[in-house]
Amino acid sequence: MRAPSAELPICFRDVTVEAHGVTILDRITLALGAGSPTVLIGPNGSGKTTFLRIAMGLTLPSAGTITWGGRENVAPVRRAIVFQHPVMLRRTAAENLRYALKVSGRIPREVHDARIAELLSLVGLSGFGDRPARRMSGGEKQRLALARALARDPVVLFLDEPSASLDPAAAKAVEDVIRAVTARNIKIIMSTHDLGSARRLAGDIIFMHHGRVVEAGAASTFFTAPQSDEAKIFISGDLLV
């Protein structure tokens, strides 16, 4: 069982992000605790990616505060993120993982090889270790990015549209990895605009629109009894503008 973490809960208090006069996140207040995956949904441009970057600590809010385990300005030692378009280092798949292991410094060097093999196996890339990472397919890169994030032994893992633009087989492979990660008690916070993916993976839902959190709560409640008109429109598949 994982030890209690200093990373959780992640608390937003009146967090606002503005850029070039445009409000990207609008006075968001909520708390993200341990447990089942939290999925951010909403149409494109609703602020999901910025929310994840703020929660990861990559972007500073224009106003408001964010705390990790009750503290501000905590370095992302036990947090990891997989971007929508992950950038692979100019090395082999195995060397990408070794780099993350070295940087994290949490695992002795003599067991790096074993850990790399384990991570590649977890994401279904056994035998791909010697491949140049940048020449892998989109789905393979996404899974390798997941493995690289896991190499840092995170308590919280942020995923930005992890299955966007993947074919169904690749998307399923990524979702399988996400389930395996969840089973290891790693908190998943992911964004998607794919309602099917959200239904399959989410324990909690945060529904965003125009930079605001419109609804937040249990996924089962959200999908069966949405409270807001915007959520009803989005779930029905109509265009939400």
Least distance from C-beta 143 to another protein, angstroms? Answer: 16
Angle between helices 138-150 and 112-122 (to 10 degrees): 130
Q: Which is nearer to another protein, 76 or 203 (CB)?
A: 76
Cα–Cα distance for residue pair 6/4, rounded to 1 Å: 7
How far, in Å, are 77, 86, 145, 202, 227 from residue 100 at the CA level?
12, 14, 10, 27, 42
Q: Which is nearer to another protein, 46 or 92 (CB)?
A: 92
Least distance from C-beta 119 to another protein, angstroms? Answer: 15
Least distance from C-beta 225 to another protein, angstroms? Answer: 36
Least distance from C-beta 90 to another protein, angstroms? Answer: 4
Q: Which is nearer to another protein, 53 or 209 (CB)?
A: 53
Least distance from C-beta 232 to another protein, angstroms? Answer: 35
Q: What per-residue string of b and e applies to 83-102 under the rule 16 or more CB within 10 Å gives b?
A: bbebebeeebbbbbbbebbe
Cα–Cα distance for residue pair 240/230, rounded to 1 Å: 7
Q: Which is nearer to another protein, 27 or 134 (CB)?
A: 134
How far, in Å, are 100, 105, 204 from residue 124 at the CA level?
18, 24, 27
- Do residues 56 and 65 touch, judged by C-beta distance below 8 A? no
Cα–Cα distance for residue pair 160/195, rounded to 1 Å: 14
Least distance from C-beta 220 to another protein, angstroms? Answer: 32
Q: Which is nearer to another protein, 70 or 132 (CB)?
A: 132
Cα–Cα distance for residue pair 191/219, rounded to 1 Å: 14
Q: Which is nearer to another protein, 112 or 134 (CB)?
A: 134
Residues that bind another protein (CB under 8 A): 56, 58, 75-77, 80-81, 83, 86-92, 99-100, 103-104, 132-135, 152
